[in-house]
């Protein structure tokens, strides 16, 4: 294929799925990483590879990246979308569950970056896009682990951008507000209850956010949109 490889984590649903469809429409080959890969109708099978991988498992994630690169060439862009939100009193949460949340939301991003960074440095080219949250700077009263990990992602992006600037590697932190996805399912509540708990905010769609991710990618390599908050115009949150 003539266009470079894009790796998307959390690609089977929500933001990751929308990002996948946006890059696929641009005719990029894709490695789609998710714990439970889902069929994506309308995408040419020769354009993508699906990997049933937990981003918390570095060895499996790296193996999936190397296998895709054998087919399509080096990874030029990594989009870290994998994640979930769980709420509940911190004093009552299972420590193992909290640990796994950190494994996915923070360590999983580090794993993905580690798997592609060496190749990007060797080529003096690459883009890393982390889908964070407006909670990385305006945390809410619930989901303490989630917000702590997102704040760490924002710090990671700033530090990594400084360390990789001379290698011509862009690092982008995309911090959306409320996005209409199925994130409520991981919380064990209905979408209606989720909206009620949030105070009936306005939402943006996953497809609208994916367009912004694609916009950041499509800038010339010498331009890096380093940190961007994406909110509905009518929202006063954050």
Does 72 participate in catalysis according to the annotation?
Answer: no
Q: Which of 58, 72, 100, 146 is catalytic?
A: 146
| Token output for 13 | 């649903």
Helix (H) or strand (E) holding 80: strand 75-80
Q: Which residue, 82, 89, 87, is CA-closest to 105?
A: 82
Asked whether the CA dihedral 162, 173, 151, 93 is positive or negative, the reply is negative
Cα 112 to chain centroid distance, Å, stands at 10
Q: Is 45 left (phi over 0), alpha (psi -120 to 50) or beta?
A: alpha
Q: What is the CA radius of gyration of the chain?
A: 17
- Residues annotated as catalytic are 146
């Amino acid at each position: 294929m003539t266009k470079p490889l894009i790796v998307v984590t959390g690609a089977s649903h929500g933001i990751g799925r929308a990002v996948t469809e946006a890059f696929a429409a641009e005719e990029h080959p894709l490695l789609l990483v998710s714990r439970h890969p889902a069929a994506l109708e309308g995408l040419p099978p020769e354009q993508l590879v699906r990997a049933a991988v937990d981003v918390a498992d570095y060895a499996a994630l790296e193996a999936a990246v190397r296998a895709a690169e054998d087919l399509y060439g080096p990874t030029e862009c990594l989009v870290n979308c994998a994640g979930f939100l769980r709420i509940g009193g911190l004093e009552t949460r299972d420590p193992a569950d909290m640990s796994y949340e950190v494994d996915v939301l923070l360590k999983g991003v580090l794993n993905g970056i580690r798997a592609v960074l060496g190749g990007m440095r060797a080529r003096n080219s690459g883009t890393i896009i982390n889908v964070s949250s407006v909670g990385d700077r305006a945390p809410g009263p619930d989901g303490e682990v989630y917000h702590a990990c997102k704040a760490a992602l924002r710090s990671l992006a700033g530090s990594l951008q400084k360390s990789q600037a001379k290698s011509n590697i862009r690092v982008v932190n995309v911090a959306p507000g409320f996005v209409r996805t199925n994130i409520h399912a991981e919380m064990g509540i209905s979408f209606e209850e989720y909206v009620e708990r949030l105070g009936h905010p306005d939402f943006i769609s996953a497809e609208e956010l994916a367009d912004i991710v694609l916009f950041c990618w499509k800038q010339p390599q010498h331009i890096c949109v380093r940190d961007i908050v994406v909110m509905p115009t009518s929202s006063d949150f954050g």
